[in-house]
């Protein structure tokens, strides 16, 4: 009999996995709470296009995308900016979020995937240790495997019984609140950098970007705390001092949303269940890009499912999805999540020192959506020694860096020893080691 797979939520990785599994002969249905044609946000997104090929998805038509500008990173005082140098063959593409969705959905439907819109998923259906389906506003649906692509606040993941051992939700410091809007262009003033990213501007822990496009200015404000529209207006006024093209009228977007910026889920699978995309916290921790990683994960998950020829879909057979995800991507992302915790503790003066003293440079600021680990940051021995000496000259950093270094080493160490085969004890011991790398008490 044809085996049934449910994809809960039309997340990017979920719909990409649905397409591959449907093509391979499974009966796949996606349940999405939004209405047909309303998915995505009213803005553009950036991701590495090789992820599409990896997931067996064709490139969108050339009129739908353009190549992204390099970003220039600044400290709070904006004394000096470091521009990324993304090589030509690694350039990311920029396209409307709704066009990304349309492209993925059309491909999945052409592979035989069924999509049920306007259907809110409420929780998993569970018998014993196994997920057997989903409870939705339109009734209960059963399947041999549930793929959870409901995003960061998935009601499937967060309503799994605690005994399954899967973390329920991100902590406050593990997600960033984003306000993003396109503003009118206030002037034709020349811009020093077309895509400016600023860390800890105004001394506030977070990141902001101002991208000066031909017809509008794209503003993003991200913080590890809640904020409201009054604060957006106050902060935008500060940014206007160094970004005269940033107008005051919102022409598109203008929403608050959240992105996970933490380590991948310590347990992505259990009997009858696998999490993908934001539901498994697959974003690049510092910059929040998650599309490319979700698409790549879809192939790893599909290969795992196809390798389970007896269609058991239990934690033993699904474990190689998590193992291979960590080998390919998670082992690079997790140390970055540990490094991100340092950013939460830095003051504006310290970040300015890092920029002004040259502790970072244009090579090591080149982080993109296909970033797969700290080792990708271009450093050599002389570079490391020079940077070490600069840290020694600045005692506040000297005090903060050892604990950060320890966390990063723990994360690298844990990822290196992720068990290849599942056993309850091996998973329990590994999770303990992995989670220890991210223990963090926010100061202040």
Ligand X SMILES: Cc1cc2nc3c(=O)[nH]c(=O)nc-3n(C[C@H](O)[C@H](O)[C@H](O)COP(=O)(O)OP(=O)(O)OC[C@H]3O[C@@H](n4cnc5c(N)ncnc54)[C@H](O)[C@@H]3O)c2cc1C
Which residues of 128-168 form beta strands (DSSP E)?
130-136, 139-142, 145-148
Establish if 16 lies at the interface with ligand X (CB under 6 A): no
Please give the helix or strand (H or E) that residue 197 lies within, else none. Answer: strand 195-199
| Spatial distance between the Cα atoms of 263 and 278, rounded to a whole number of angstroms | 11
With 0-12 / 13-18 / 19 or more C-beta atoms within 10 angstroms meaning exposed / middle / buried, residue 214 is: exposed
Closest distance of CB 295 from ligand X, Å: 9
Q: How many CB atoms lie within 10 A of CB 272?
A: 24
Q: Is 289 in the site for ligand X (CB under 6 A)?
A: yes
One of 32, 69, 218, 370 touching ligand X (CB under 6 A): 32
CA–CA separation, 233 vs 216, rounded Å? Answer: 17
Member of 52, 93, 259, 270 binding ligand X (CB under 6 A): 259
Residue 217 or 404 having the CB closest to ligand X? 217
Number of residues engaging ligand X in binding (CB under 6 A):
34
The nearest distance, CB 276 to ligand X, in angstroms, is 6
116 binds ligand X (CB under 6 A): no
Report if residue 278 touches ligand X, rule: CB under 6 A: yes
Radius of gyration of the chain (CA): 22
How far is CA 220 from its chain centroid? 16
Site for ligand X in 117-176 (CB under 6 A): 120-121, 149-151, 155
Is 292 one of the binding residues for ligand X (CB under 6 A)?
yes
285 contributes a contact to ligand X by CB under 6 A: no
Closer residue to ligand X in complex, CB, 113/292:
292
Under rule CB under 6 A, which residues in 388-417 are in contact with ligand X?
none
The reply on whether position 198 binds ligand X by CB under 6 A is: no
User: Shortest gap between Cβ of 67 and ligand X (angstroms)?
Assistant: 14
Considering only residues 52 to 111 of the shown chain, the ones binding ligand X according to CB under 6 A are none
For ligand X, the closer of residues 285 and 335 by Cβ is 285
Largest CA distance in the chain: 69
* Rounded-to-10 torsion of CA 75, 78, 79, 81: 70
Q: How far is the CB of 382 from ligand X (least distance, A)?
A: 33
For ligand X, the closer of residues 22 and 154 by Cβ is: 154
Q: Which element (helix H / strand E) includes 237?
A: helix 229-242
- Shortest gap between Cβ of 84 and ligand X (angstroms)? 14
For ligand X, which residue of 5, 11, 69, 196 counts as binding (CB under 6 A)? 11
In the block, tokens 């000096």 appear at: 80
Q: Mask 366-385, x = binds ligand X (CB under 6 A)?
A: ---x----------------
The angle formed by the CA atoms of residues 284, 287 and 289, to the nearest 5 degrees, is 55
Structural contact between residues 283 and 261, judged by C-beta atoms closer than 8 angstroms:
yes
Pick 47 or 73: Cβ nearer ligand X: 47
What is 264-309 written as a DSSP string?
PPS--EETTEEE-GGGGT-S-TTT---HHHHHHHHHHHHHHHHH-T
SS3 214: coil
Q: Contact positions toward ligand X, by CB under 6 A?
A: 9-13, 31-34, 39, 45-47, 120-121, 149-151, 155, 178, 180, 257, 259, 277-279, 283, 288-292, 294, 369
């Amino acid at each position: 009999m044809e085996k049934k797979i449910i994809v809960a939520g039309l997340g990017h990785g979920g719909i990409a996995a649905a397409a591959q599994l449907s093509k391979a002969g499974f009966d796949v249905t996606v349940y999405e709470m939004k209405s047909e044609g309303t998915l995505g946000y009213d803005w553009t997104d950036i991701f590495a296009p090789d992820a599409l090929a990896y997931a067996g998805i064709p490139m969108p038509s050339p009129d739908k995308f353009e190549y992204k500008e390099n970003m220039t990173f600044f400290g709070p005082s904006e004394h000096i900016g470091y521009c990324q140098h993304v090589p030509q063959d690694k350039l990311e593409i920029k396209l409307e979020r709704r066009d990304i969705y349309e492209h993925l959905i059309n491909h999945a439907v052409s592979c035989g995937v069924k999509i049920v819109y306007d259907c809110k998923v409420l929780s998993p259906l569970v018998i014993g240790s196994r997920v057997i389906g989903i409870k939705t506003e339109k009734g209960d649906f059963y399947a041999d495997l549930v793929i959870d692509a409901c995003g960061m606040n998935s009601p499937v993941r967060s309503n799994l019984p605690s005994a399954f051992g899967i973390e329920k939700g991100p902590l406050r410091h593990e997600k960033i609140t984003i306000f993003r809007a396109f503003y009118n262009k206030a002037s034709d003033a020349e811009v020093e950098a077309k895509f400016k990213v600023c860390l800890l501007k105004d001394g506030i822990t977070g990141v902001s970007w101002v991208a000066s496009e031909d017809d509008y200015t794209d503003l993003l404000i991200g913080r590890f705390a809640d904020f409201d529209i009054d604060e957006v207006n106050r902060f935008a006024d500060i940014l206007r001092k160094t970004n005269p093209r940033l107008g005051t009228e919102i022409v598109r977007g203008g929403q608050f949303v959240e992105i996970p910026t933490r380590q991948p889920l310590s347990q992505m699978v259990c009997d009858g269940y696998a999490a993908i995309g934001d539901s498994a916290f697959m974003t690049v921790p510092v910059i929040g890009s998650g599309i490319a990683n979700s698409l790549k994960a879809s192939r790893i998950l599909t290969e795992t499912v196809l390798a389970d020829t007896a269609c058991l879909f239990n934690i033993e057979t699904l474990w190689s999805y998590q193992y291979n995800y960590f080998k390919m991507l998670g082992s690079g992302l997790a140390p970055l999540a540990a490094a991100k915790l340092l950013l939460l503790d830095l003051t504006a003066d310290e970040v300015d020192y890092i920029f002004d003293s040259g502790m970072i440079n244009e090579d090591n600021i080149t982080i993109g959506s296909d970033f797969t680990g700290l080792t990708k940051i271009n450093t050599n021995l002389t570079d490391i020694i020079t940077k070490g000496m600069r840290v020694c000259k600045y005692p506040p950093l000297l005090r903060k860096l050892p604990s950060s270094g320890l966390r990063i080493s723990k994360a690298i160490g844990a990822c290196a020893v992720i068990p290849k085969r599942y056993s309850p004890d091996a998973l329990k011991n590994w999770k303990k080691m992995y989670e220890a790398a991210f223990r963090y008490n926010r100061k202040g």
